[in-house]
Every structure is written in C-alpha cells, then in structure tokens.
Amino acid sequence: MKLSRADKVKLVLFIIFRAIAVLAGIIAVINNDWTNFALSILTLVVFLLPSIIEKKLSVDFPSEFEIAVLIFIFAALYLGEMRSYYVKYWWWDLFLHTFSGSIIGAIGFSLVDILNKNEKVAIKLSPIFVSIFSFCFALAIGALWEIYEFAMDTFFGLNMQKSGLVDTMTDLIVDTLGALVFSVLGYLHLKGKINLLDRFIGKIRDWNKDPEPVVKNSFSFKKASSKINAIVKTIANIKVTSGIDDEPASEEDISDGDIHLKKDTILEESLKK
C-alpha cells in the first residue's frame, strides 16, 4: 500500500519535529538545563501517543488530523515551553487553547460516532447528542487541564496560570469557542449538509482489511535484534576458535610449515656462503 500525500507530509513532519526535539535535548544537557531536557523527553514521548492510541483502540485517525495533532504538540511543548513563546507572544496561549478545544472536540466526536456506527451497540444516538457530547468532552478536558495548572502552581511553585483567575477563565472561554465550532460542524456533517470533516474524524480500523502503509527503509526492531544476535554469535565463535590451542594441526598445515622451513634453511645457507 503506497503512502498518500498526507501520509508523506505526516512522516516528514514527524521526523523533523523529533530531530528538533532531540537536538534541543542535547543542547539542554550541554548547558545543564535539565528543565528543557525533561521537556524534550516529554515532547518525544507525546509524539508517539497518537500511534499508540490507534494501536490500542484499533482506531484509525486520518493523516490530516494527525498532522494537526503533531503541529499542536510541537507548538505547545517545544515552541511554547522550551522557546518561551508563551512569554514572547501574549496571544500564543489563547491560540493553542482554541486549537486544543477543536482537537479534543474532534476526539470526543470520533469516539461517540464510532460507537454509533458499531453494530454491537444497540443504542443509536442522534446527531445533536453526538455534537453535545463532543462539546462537553472538550470542556471537561479543558477544565481538568486548568486543575492541573493550579495544582502545579500550588505544590511546585510554578507559574502556569500566569495571571491566576483571569488566565483560567480566558483559557476556558477560548476552549469553549474551539469546541463549539467543531461540535456545530460535526452536527452539520452528520446531517449531511457539509462534507468537511471526513479527514478529521476517526473510525474503527480492521487491520486485516486496512493495513498500515508500507514505508520503505523503515526501521524494524525484529530485524535489528536478529542482526545483533547474529553479530554476537559470530564474535563469540571467533573468540572460541582463537582460544583453542590444543587442536592438532592438519596435514596441509604441516606441509605448509615444512615448505616455509625449507625456504628458511636455504636462505640461511646462502647467506653463510
């Protein structure tokens, strides 16, 4: 199965963002900046979450949606935290909270839509209920995040809330706007009035019918481990054979030794003359 254009873009962004995070981590170690080093590790781990969720839940999110998630993670963790965009640009936090409201709304919408289309689930939900759940799901995650920020500021002396109550309420308001936009679009999509969200809504994946795209020259842990084991065995055999001194010499080795001995004696006699 060949890679689509969106799959190629996702792969390129994934490689570039991971390389930047690794480089930032190395620079942080050189500068003894352990906070940014921890953030670079966190960024690398979070980049893997979409693929892990897809595997565990057998859900297939379109590549366009995964591209949006990758950009959000990079903008929030690397640009926002490590490059201090939250401090440099006052609107950065508002932009990301609006963006996250739409992304989380899409995830909630996809979960309910998948259940709605599942033949094993007897209950069929109306489009308005699916949209309301998507909206409430995004708000709930946004509220949990604000609780997390408050806890970090209270117990660890951080400054995640910046201006306190104003920051919290502003974040929740823009979360609401982002979630509202996606839930309305989702409702219109389910009613058949628009067809814009097919590239942003997940679906149940049958791994037999819809295998992952084959990426040439991709890294395989199984192949790498088998090659490593073969190398280890070869080295072990070399050590064993080199350590054996008591093995009797073969007839060919003895004949070769006699030839070399005769050549040495002839050379010595010629030198004496």
pLDDT tens per residue, range 98-133: 999 999 998 888 888 888 877 777 778 888 999 999
Among 69, 89, 109, residue at a domain's last position: 89
Per-residue pLDDT, 267: 45
Whether 58 maps to a domain, the answer reads: yes
Domain co-membership, 206 together with 109: yes
Domain hosting residue 239, numbered range: 228-272
Domain co-membership, 145 together with 190: yes
In this predicted structure, the answer to whether residue 138 has a pLDDT above a threshold of 90 is: yes
Whether 193 maps to a domain, the answer reads: yes
Two structure tokens written together for 14? 């994934």
Whether 259 maps to a domain, the answer reads: yes
Stretch 13-30: mean pLDDT: 92
Among 72, 89, 106, residue at a domain's last position: 89
Domain co-membership, 149 together with 192: yes
Find, among 112, 21, 105, the residue nearest to 68 by Cα. 105
* 43, HSE (Cβ side, Cα atoms, 13 Å): 31
Domain co-membership, 41 together with 95: no
Domain co-membership, 151 together with 214: yes
Evaluate whether 109 touches 130 at the Cβ level (below 8 Å). Answer: yes
Per-residue pLDDT, 265: 52
Whether 211 maps to a domain, the answer reads: yes
Two structure tokens written together for 150? 């408050």
Whether 223 maps to a domain, the answer reads: no
Domain co-membership, 96 together with 214: yes
Domain co-membership, 97 together with 207: yes
pTM greater than the 0.75 cutoff: no
In the chain the first and final C-alpha atoms are separated, in Å, by: 81
Domain co-membership, 143 together with 117: yes
Mean pLDDT of the chain: 77
Domain co-membership, 123 together with 183: yes
Per-residue pLDDT tens digits for 216-264: 444 444 554 565 556 556 545 654 454 444 445 545 444 554 544 454 5
Among 34, 63, 89, residue at a domain's last position: 89
Domain co-membership, 123 together with 197: yes
Total of domains in the chain: 3
Domain co-membership, 212 together with 233: no
Query: 17: pLDDT confidence band, cut at 50, 70 and 90?
Result: very high
Query: 212: pLDDT confidence band, cut at 50, 70 and 90?
Result: low
Amino acid at 149: E
Domain co-membership, 104 together with 78: no
Evaluate whether 82 touches 40 at the Cβ level (below 8 Å). Answer: yes
Query: 95: pLDDT confidence band, cut at 50, 70 and 90?
Result: very high
State whether the Cα torsion 51-57-59-62 is positive or negative.
Answer: negative
Per-residue pLDDT tens digits for 62-76: 888 889 999 999 998
Whether 263 maps to a domain, the answer reads: yes
